[in-house]
Structure formats: C-alpha cells, structure tokens
C-alpha cells in the first residue's frame, strides 16, 4: 500500500528506516505539507479555522493564500484579535503523524537527516535505524518576544560542559546546545509581539528565514531548517516599544492585518463561544438579547472613547470577562435570596465595571477621570446608543407636537419621588419597585412588540436608564444599585451620581 494511503494505525507500526522506505514515504517540507492539506480542505469545503468569527471574508482568505504561496506570515493587529489562536489552529493543517529519527534533537526526517547525530546513526545502523512518530499537536512552538530573550534562547549556544565531557573543540557541531528555533525543525514556530524582540535577535532570525545559516559564537553552521514561521505584532509596537528590522520584515512574505468584530452579532457569537460558564446555573438565569447587545456595545463605545488609548485597542476579552461577571452577578443574587431562577437586570452592569477597568488602556485625560468612572460612563453610552432602537428619542419627542410619551413617569419623579433599583434584591422586590412608577409598564408593552412576560421589568428598568442618559432623569450610583430622581431637584443635591462615584469603593 502507498504511504499516503496508510492509516495512522498502520503508520505507528512502522519502527525502522527500512520499513519506512518500503512504505513509499517521500519527504516534503512543512510548507508543502500545509499547502497539500489546505488544498484538500478547500476541495472538501471543510472549515480550517472553525470558531474564528468575523474573518470569513477578510483574514482567513489572506491566510489561506499565504499558505498556498508557502509564505512565512506576520499577523498584524491590536490585542485580542485572535492572532495567536489562528496560529495555533494551523496545526490542524499538518499531517497527523510524521516520522523522525528516534532521539534526534532536531526532529530529523529519516530520509533527509539534518543533524550530525541522525546522519551518524543512519550511517551506522542503516535500514535498522529506529524511527518514532511525531503527532501534529506537538509540532507547535510559541515564544513571547521580550527584551530579555537572547540568541542562546532562540538559536543556541556552545555548551562548554559538553565539549569537556566529549573532549571536543568548540568548532565541533556536537558541542552546540540548540535553542528553540532549531528544536522546532519541521514544525510551526510562533513569535508573539515580534517588535519587542531586540534588533540583534531579529538579525539572527533573518538568515534562518532565507539562507538557512545559523551562527553561534563565531561557529557558522549551515542548517537548512524546515520551519513555518508565524509572527504576531501590534501596530502600537512600531512606535512605542520597538520595530521590526527591515531585513527581517522583507523576509516575511505575507503580512496579514486583523481587525475587531465588525458587527454586534459577530461579537455576541465570539463572547458566547469563549465565556467560561461551566458550573454556573446558567439554565436558571435568563439573559435578554438586549443585554447581550449592551455588553458588545460597551466594547464598541470603548474603542471610540476619547479617554481610551485607540492605539492600544480594546480586546475581545473585555466582553468575554464582562459577560462572565454579569452572569456571576445574577448567580450571587440567586444564592442571596434563595431563589431558583432570575432575569438579568440593567443594575447588574455595576458588576461588570471591574471587567472593563482592567481591559482598557487610558490616555492622560482618562487617567484624570479615573478608570472606574470611565467604565461607568461607557456603560451609560452603550445604553444611550441602543435606547432609540427600542424607544423614541426623548430629545425628539420633546420637540414633537403630538406629545411626549414619557410625560407620566417623568411627572411622578417631578413630584419629588425617587426610585432605588438594587442589584441584590429579590425578584419580587425588584418588580414591586418598578411598578411604583406610573405609566412605565404601559410604555414598555406599547413600544416592545412580542415582549416576553419575564423581560417586562428588564425593559422598564432599561427605559429609566435611557431617560437618564438623555438627561430626562437624574441617576445616582449607590453602593448596591442605582437611584433615579427628578433631574431638576437633583441639581440642588451635591451628591449627584458622578460626583458621588468613587472608584475605590467595593461594588
């Protein structure tokens, strides 16, 4: 039977070089291997990068073209754009098993040995040379570029102990202790944040990419390594921390630009896929679709906020962490009130503030405002943006002649009434509080078509938050929730919500 038709079980039965030759095996480079398997996937209409949403028409076709061209790749994009995940998934395009000379440091191909160890072993044992099989999951090496990475780490160094033990001179290849790159021969090697690598280390790489030479302490070694290089870089790095040296950049054949989700729907799909909810009573926590939209909108608002560093970007991890915190806020309420089920509330968004503050890089003005207040305001902007998708604009209705539908609830607050919405109260108390506001329920049932009964209070609270964001009501942040009051009367209250907000408080 021909080699390429053998099953994995048949391959693992092959134990010697002679048996491998008899199977019809022929060496191919890793780039040819990736190309061959990608072609088969494309012809079968199979997805290679499954679970990578939003890149179907942009990044993924570029990567596939680069693989078909047998290029080394640089993925250029802001943080949290799935660059490393894409690189890791490239292992799915490798053959399940490949043969290696057993015991070789450089994962030598039995029919195309590279190291002196493998060459001497084959010369000595011939067809009886033992071989082993290397699984594709192990053919991946990843290194984060940091300023302390040395040439010895990546390329290698002379080992004086080995030289003394073997009684060899430093000019002998056997005294070299190989670094990560040579040990990744015949596999995918990823360097994350490439511009952070010192220029002299980058210089050591570009000869490997093109000429296949490595030089260790003046010992020049011709070593045609077979590696698929994948680099990742953040555009910010080019100006703030470092740059990719020109000769290296010239040798990376394909540079592919990544991006953030281009729609809320794609963002929701990513968040739902990546959020870690194992062990949580998720079946007892109802999340309205609007709340899922709000979580994604917070990230969108952050990416265009004047207080957030645009060059740093806002990772998709913000929405993932925020959603996890949101579910945990509702879970905590279930346990506190000993209830069996609950519905997410707008007030639960207080619980996502810690997930936002750690995920945004603030400019100077943002630092002056404070991370907590910036996060609180981003939530407010997300509510304001989505409010008019469900309710008429309060600003516009004030100008219209047919009347303002918000008059009745606003008049109730104008009479001096206040409403506290607390995140930890029971569902019964939560509903009772919202029912105090006249006209609120009628507005929601009139405006929201096909409204599920269990989401009614959620939209009633959303309506109050929206009126606040459109400056129709005053909203004050409490330790455990929100307080709504008439806007005019709150002007005389020195404890207005933004002044009262202290990012050191424990929410």
Distance in angstroms (rounded) separating the CA atoms of residues 303 and 306: 9
Pair 271, 202 in one domain:
no
Residue 197 near residue 191 (C-beta atoms within 8 A): yes
| Of 240, 257, 274, the domain-final residue | 257
Domain that residue 84 falls in: 30-69+71-94+139-149+181-257
The total number of structural domains that make up the chain:
2
Residue 22 lies inside a defined structural domain of this protein: no
Residue 329 lies inside a defined structural domain of this protein: yes
For residue 448, the SS3 value is coil
Pair 273, 248 in one domain:
no
- Residue 498 pLDDT: 45
Pair 206, 293 in one domain:
no
Pair 295, 212 in one domain:
no
Pair 332, 457 in one domain:
yes
Pair 368, 241 in one domain:
no
Query: Which of 107, 106, 186 is closest to 140 using CA atoms?
Result: 186
Pair 247, 299 in one domain:
no
Pair 336, 215 in one domain:
no
Pair 425, 369 in one domain:
yes
- In CATH, what number is assigned to the domain containing residue 36? 3.40.50.300
Continuous segment of H or E residues that includes residue 187: strand 187-192
Q: What is the DSSP string of 30-84?
A: HHHHHHHHHHHHHHTT--SSTT-TT-TTTHHHHHHHHHHTT--EEEE--TTSSHH
Query: Which of 434, 428, 383 is closest to 409 using CA atoms?
Result: 434
Pair 248, 272 in one domain:
no
**pLDDT by residue, tens only, the chain of 507 residues:** 577 778 888 889 999 999 999 999 999 999 999 999 999 999 999 998 999 999 999 999 999 999 999 999 999 999 889 999 999 999 999 999 999 999 999 999 999 998 889 999 999 999 999 999 999 999 999 999 888 888 888 888 777 666 667 666 656 666 777 889 989 999 999 999 998 888 888 888 877 777 666 666 666 667 788 999 999 998 865 544 568 888 888 889 999 999 999 999 999 999 999 999 999 999 999 999 999 999 999 999 999 999 998 888 898 899 999 999 999 999 999 999 999 999 999 999 999 999 999 889 898 888 888 999 999 999 999 999 999 999 999 887 666 656 789 999 999 999 999 999 988 999 999 999 999 999 999 999 999 988 999 999 999 999 999 999 999 999 998 888 889 999 876 555 544 444 444 444 433
Distance in angstroms (rounded) separating the CA atoms of residues 354 and 309: 18
Distance in angstroms (rounded) separating the CA atoms of residues 275 and 267: 12
Residue 60 lies inside a defined structural domain of this protein: yes
The two tokens of residue 75 are 């993925």
Residue 122 lies inside a defined structural domain of this protein: no
Query: Which of 273, 320, 281, 279 is closest to 80 using CA atoms?
Result: 320
Residue 7 lies inside a defined structural domain of this protein: no
Q: How many other CB atoms are there within 10 angstroms of residue 295's CB atom?
A: 27
Pair 305, 395 in one domain:
yes
Pair 229, 289 in one domain:
no
| Of 231, 257, 283, the domain-final residue | 257
Q: What is the pTM of this model?
A: 0.85
- Residue 505 pLDDT: 43
Residue 131 lies inside a defined structural domain of this protein: no
| Of 208, 240, 257, the domain-final residue | 257
Residue 63 lies inside a defined structural domain of this protein: yes
Residue 44 lies inside a defined structural domain of this protein: yes
Residue 256 near residue 62 (C-beta atoms within 8 A): yes
């Amino acid at each position: 039977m021909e080699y390429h038709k053998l099953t994995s079980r048949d391959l693992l039965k092959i134990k010697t070089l002679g048996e491998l030759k008899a199977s019809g095996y022929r060496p191919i480079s890793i780039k040819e291997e990736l190309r061959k398997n990608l072609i088969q996937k494309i012809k079968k209409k199979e997805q290679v990068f499954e679970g990578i949403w939003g890149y179907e028409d942009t990044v993924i076709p570029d990567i596939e073209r680069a693989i078909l061209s047998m290029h080394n790749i640089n993925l250029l994009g802001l943080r949290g754009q799935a660059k490393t995940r894409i690189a890791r998934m490239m292992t799915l395009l490798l053959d399940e098993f490949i043969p290696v000379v057993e015991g070789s440091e450089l994962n030598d191909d039995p029919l195309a040995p590279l190291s002196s160890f493998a060459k001497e072993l084959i010369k000595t044992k011939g067809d009886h040379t033992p071989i082993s099989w290397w699984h594709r999951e192990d053919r991946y090496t990843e290194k984060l570029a940091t300023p302390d990475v040395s040439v010895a780490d990546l390329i290698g160094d002379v080992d004086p102990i080995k030289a003394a033990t073997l009684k060899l001179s430093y000019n002998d290849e056997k005294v070299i202790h190989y670094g990560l790159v040579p040990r990744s021969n015949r596999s995918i090697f990823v360097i994350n944040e490439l511009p952070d690598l010192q220029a002299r280390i980058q210089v050591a790489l570009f000869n490997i990419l093109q000429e296949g030479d490595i030089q260790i302490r003046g010992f020049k070694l011709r070593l045609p390594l077979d590696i698929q290089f994948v680099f990742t870089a953040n555009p910010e790095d080019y100006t703030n921390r470092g740059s990719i040296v020109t000769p290296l950049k010239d040798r990376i054949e394909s540079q592919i630009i990544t991006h953030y989700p281009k729609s809320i729907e794609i963002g929701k799909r990513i968040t739902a896929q990546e959020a870690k909810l194992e062990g949580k009573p998720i079946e007892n926590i109802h999340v309205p679709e609007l709340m899922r939209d709000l979580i994604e909108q917070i990230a969108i608002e952050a990416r265009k906020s004047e207080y957030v560093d645009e060059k740093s970007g806002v990772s998709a991890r913000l929405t993932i962490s925020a959603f996890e915190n949101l579910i945990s806020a509702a879970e905590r309420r279930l346990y506190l009130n000993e209830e069996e089920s609950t519905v997410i509330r707008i007030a639960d968004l207080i619980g996502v503030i810690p997930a936002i503050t750690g995920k945004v890089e603030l400019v100077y003005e943002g630092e002056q405002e404070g991370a907590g207040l910036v996060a609180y305001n981003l939530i407010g902007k997300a509510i304001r943006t989505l409010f008019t998708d469900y309710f008429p604009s309060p600003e516009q209705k004030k100008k219209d002649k047919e009347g303002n539908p918000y008059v009745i609830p606003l008049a109730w607050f104008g009479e001096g009434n206040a409403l506290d919405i607390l995140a930890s109260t029971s569902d019964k108390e939560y509903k009772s509080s919202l029912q105090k506001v006249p006209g609120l329920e009628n507005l929601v049932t009139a405006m929201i078509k096909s409204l599920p009964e269990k989401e009614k209070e959620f939209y009633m609270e959303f309506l109050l938050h929206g009126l606040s964001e459109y400056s129709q009501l005053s909203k004050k942040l409490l330790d455990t929730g929100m307080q709504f009051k008439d806007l005019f009367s709150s002007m005389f209250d020195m404890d207005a919500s933004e002044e009262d907000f202290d990012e050191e408080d424990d929410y």
